[in-house]
Structures are given as C-alpha cells and as structure tokens.
Chains A and B, each alone.
Chain A
Amino acid sequence: MLRAIWLIVRKDLTVEVRSRELAYTTLFFAVSCVLVFAFSLVQEGRAAEGVGAGVLWMAIMFAGNLALGRTFERERQSETLRALMLVPAPRPAVYLGKLTGIVFLLALTEAVLVPLVALLFESALLSHPFWLAAVVATGTVGFAAVGTLFAAMLVRARSRDVLLPVLLYPITVPVLIAGVRATVAIAQPEFEVDVVRFWLMLLIAFDVVFITLALWTFEPVMTD
C-alpha cells in the first residue's frame, strides 16, 4: 500500500515538474485572487482591520478548488484514473496518493501567499510562524481531504467543474471558520494561545474524521 502511494506521488511530481502547468497556474490564480480582494477591500490606501486572515483563507480555498479540478482533469485524459483503479493495490492508496500530491501543491502556493497577504494587508501573520504553519497545514489537509474525494467522485459526472465548488464549500465551512479565527488570533497584538489551540484542535479532529470517512467511502463511491 505504501509503495503504491509513493509511486503515485512520485508520478504526479514527475508529471508536474515536466509541465509545471499546475504549479504556475495555481500560484498565479491565487495571487490574482489576492489582488482582486485587495482592490475590493482596501479603502483610502489602508486595509480594513484584521481582513488579512480572511483574504488568506479565501485565496487558499479558491486556488485549492482550481488545483483539485485540474489534477483530476489530467487523470481523465486517457482515462488513467480507471487504470489506477485496476491495479492490485488497495483502492484507498489511490486516494492517499492524490491527496499527498494536492497538499504539496497547496503548500507551495501558501508559501507564496502568506508573505504576500501579510505584506499587502498589513497583517501580522508572521508573528508566530510555528502556530501559523500548524493552523495552515491542518486546514489545508482538511480542505484537501474532502476535496480529493469529491473531485475523484465527480471525474465521470456531467457538469463536474461547477459541481465541485457546490459540494466542497458548504462541507468545508468548519475548516474556513477555524482557519480564519485561528489566523486572526495569531495576527493580533495580544496573542491568545488558548484561542489558537482550540481552533487547532478542531482542525485536527476534522482532519482525522474526514480522512477516515474518505478512506471508507472511496471504494464504494468510485465503483459502479
């Protein structure tokens, strides 16, 4: 099982390094999102208080949605997802392999987004980098865990491009709320550890529950 996951991740990495399509487009899209928000929310040359956290998470969710759609669109060409379902490895290995790839991609994007948002929105996001990294990591994993399952589910459905956000956003509301609240608490001048810890616990619980659920439902949902 682990070997299968590793092979899939390595394959996705190789494909990505060759074409660099996903990395560049996702990154560019995320940055344009931030710009759009900047022009909408910055008034008289100053950003509204505490808006940086919200902008960061909105950009992550929008860019994540795009990345998920594109990743599975690639597997739809030549029906390679079908080929993956045919291999003797346990099917959840395919899910975990794709999940790992998406998380890497989003991590890359966030590495650019966080300093950018901190700069443009005058937000003290980087004041406690380890806490921020923990929050962003667990939030991204939660979002990607649900998103990978849904995007895989929708690969053969009609209207799949528009259905992914319709399904994904309501379900990932807790991730968004927890992520934003924790990030706001981190960016505040008086750092409240308890608040951040609470939201972090929620995110970890979400990740555990939903990855488990996805592993259970991947095979029944993907087979006809």
Chain B
Amino acid sequence: MPKWFQPTTLLCAALFAISPFVIANAPYESTMGLVQKVFYYHMPSAWVFLTASVVCGIASARFLATGDARHDRTALAAAEMAVLFGLLTLVTGPLWARKAWGTWWIWDARITSSLVGWMIAWAYLILRQYGGPGSEKLSAGLALFGMANVPFIYVSVNYWRTIHPATTVVPKLPFEMGFPLLFCLAAFYLLMFLLMKLRTHVAEQQARLDAIYLSLDEQA
C-alpha cells in the first residue's frame, strides 16, 4: 500500500467524526425539521453511487476494448462501491421520506432509477460470483449495457411518476446549509476513493499470487 494511504484514512475518519457536529450546526430547514439532516448523508451517498456506477461502466468498456486486467479490477471495485453506497442511499432515502412526506417509499423518478441502477450493480456482482470462469468479460458487457441504459431508465421512470424535489435545492441553499453538504460530499468521496484503492490492491495481490502459482507450476 502506498505511503499516503494511512494518513489519508485517518483524515477521512476525522472528517466523518466531525461531520455530525457540522451538520448539527446547520440551520433548521423550516418545513421538514430535524429529519432533513439525513439529507447531508443521503445526497453524498447518492452522488458516490452514481459516480461509482459510471466508473464501473467506463472501466468495463476499457477492459472489453483492451483486455487489460487492471480495468477489470477497477470495474469490480467500483461495482462493489455502487452496491454499498446505493444501499446507503436507498436506506437513508426512505428515512427522510417518511418524515417529509409520510410514506416510506414513493415511486418517484430519482429513487426508482436508483433502485434499478442498484439492481444492475448487484447483478454484476452476482454474475462475477456465480458465473464461473470467464465471467469477467460477461460482467463487463453487463456493466456497459447498464451504463448505456442510464438515460433510458431515467426518462422512462421520470415520465412514469414524479414528486421528488428539484435538484435546484443545492444552489439555492444559503451558505450555512451549503457548507455542511460540501463537507459531507468531501468525506464520502474520500471514503469511496480509499475503499476502491483498498479493494483494487487486494485484487492485485490475488492476481500476483495466481501468477506466482503459475510460474511455480512451470518449474515443476
């Protein structure tokens, strides 16, 4: 592991430790009250989920084009991030929705698209796990299709039902509300970056181990 890994991990842990205080000091949102604070974890999770999905799609495309195993490792790590942060998004969302709109689940454009996207990421992992040998290429194909599908999913779900608040919530926030959001975004993105680095490192070590086994076999 590179030298900067440990100090950066400590930094990330610090950011998360401080975040509740930063959030607590943000002003109360008049209509939704205390529970709106979940938003500061919910939105960064959603952004990281989306970013991870895009990274997975691009890495998969590069893997299919070049056959370089590094891209495959990146795609796998990104898919795991997508499932993790997608789950976080899909759990924090209903928590907020319950208090804000009175129901646990609403079939609106964004949350439904996220659910479908999350299932595609999950399908990627299932395919890797149970597809047998050669499943790296197959899952890359799936990821590519998943990424191409994003606009279609969004449009179809959007025109199907929608009551999600508009994205313009972010720019219109006064600074006291905007700063905690940026703080949490930084913390979440740093976490995603660190986890991906860790995961690809493990995968790399596994690949090296396989190579060693193979070369041993040769000497025999």
Query: Do A's and B's CB atoms come within 8 Å in the complex?
Result: yes
Chain A contacts to B: CB under 8 angstroms? 146, 149-150, 153-154, 156-159, 163, 166-167, 170-171, 173-174, 177-178, 181, 198, 202, 205-206, 209-210, 213, 217, 220-221, 224
Bound together, the chains give a CA A221 to CA B143 distance in angstroms of 12
- Closest approach, in angstroms, between the C-beta of B102 and any C-beta of chain A? 25
Please state if A171 and B120 are interface contacts (CB–CB under 8 Å). Answer: yes
A-contacting 9-mer, from B8-16, B23-31, B128-136: B128-136
Chain B contacts to A: CB under 8 angstroms? 64-65, 116, 119-120, 123, 126-127, 130-132, 134-135, 137-138, 140-142, 144-146, 148-149, 152-153, 155-157, 159-160
Please state if B160 and A221 are interface contacts (CB–CB under 8 Å). Answer: no
Some 15 contacts from A to B, beta carbons below 8 A apart, are A149-B141, A150-B142, A157-B131, A157-B135, A163-B126, A163-B127, A167-B127, A170-B146, A171-B120, A171-B149, A202-B156, A217-B64, A220-B64, A220-B137, A224-B134
Instruction: Please indicate which of the listed interface residues A153, A158, A181 has the most CB atoms of chain B within 10 Å of its own CB.
Output: A153
Please state if B131 and A163 are interface contacts (CB–CB under 8 Å). Answer: yes
Bound together, the chains give a CA A202 to CA B151 distance in angstroms of 10
Instruction: Please indicate which of the listed interface residues B64, B138, B148 has the most CB atoms of chain A within 10 Å of its own CB.
Output: B138
Residues of A within 8 A of B116 (CB): 170, 173
Could you say which of A170, A174, A213, A221 contacts B156, with CB atoms under 8 Å apart? Answer: A174
Could you say which of A150, A173, A205 contacts B153, with CB atoms under 8 Å apart? Answer: A173
> Known contacts A166-B127, A170-B120, A202-B152; is A154 also within 8 Å of B141 by CB?
no
Residues of B within 8 A of A149 (CB): 141, 145
Residues of A within 8 A of B160 (CB): 177, 181
Could you say which of A158, A206, A220 contacts B152, with CB atoms under 8 Å apart? Answer: A206
Chain A at the B interface: mostly helix, strand, loop or mixed?
helix
- Closest approach, in angstroms, between the C-beta of A180 and any C-beta of chain B? 9
Residues of B within 8 A of A206 (CB): 152
Could you say which of A150, A157, A181, A217 contacts B134, with CB atoms under 8 Å apart? Answer: A157
> Known contacts A171-B146, A173-B116, A221-B141; is A166 also within 8 Å of B126 by CB?
yes
Bound together, the chains give a CA A205 to CA B153 distance in angstroms of 12
Could you say which of A154, A173, A181 contacts B131, with CB atoms under 8 Å apart? Answer: A154
- Closest approach, in angstroms, between the C-beta of A101 and any C-beta of chain B? 21
Please state if A158 and B149 are interface contacts (CB–CB under 8 Å). Answer: no
Bound together, the chains give a CA A182 to CA B119 distance in angstroms of 25
- Closest approach, in angstroms, between the C-beta of B220 and any C-beta of chain A? 25
- Closest approach, in angstroms, between the C-beta of A116 and any C-beta of chain B? 26
Residue of A nearest to B61 (CB): A217
Bound together, the chains give a CA A115 to CA B88 distance in angstroms of 45
Residues of A within 8 A of B127 (CB): 157, 163, 166-167
- Closest approach, in angstroms, between the C-beta of A94 and any C-beta of chain B? 16
Please state if B156 and A217 are interface contacts (CB–CB under 8 Å). Answer: no
- Closest approach, in angstroms, between the C-beta of B114 and any C-beta of chain A? 12
Residues of A within 8 A of B145 (CB): 146, 149, 171, 210, 213
- Closest approach, in angstroms, between the C-beta of A126 and any C-beta of chain B? 24
Residues of A within 8 A of B126 (CB): 163, 166
Please state if A217 and B138 are interface contacts (CB–CB under 8 Å). Answer: no
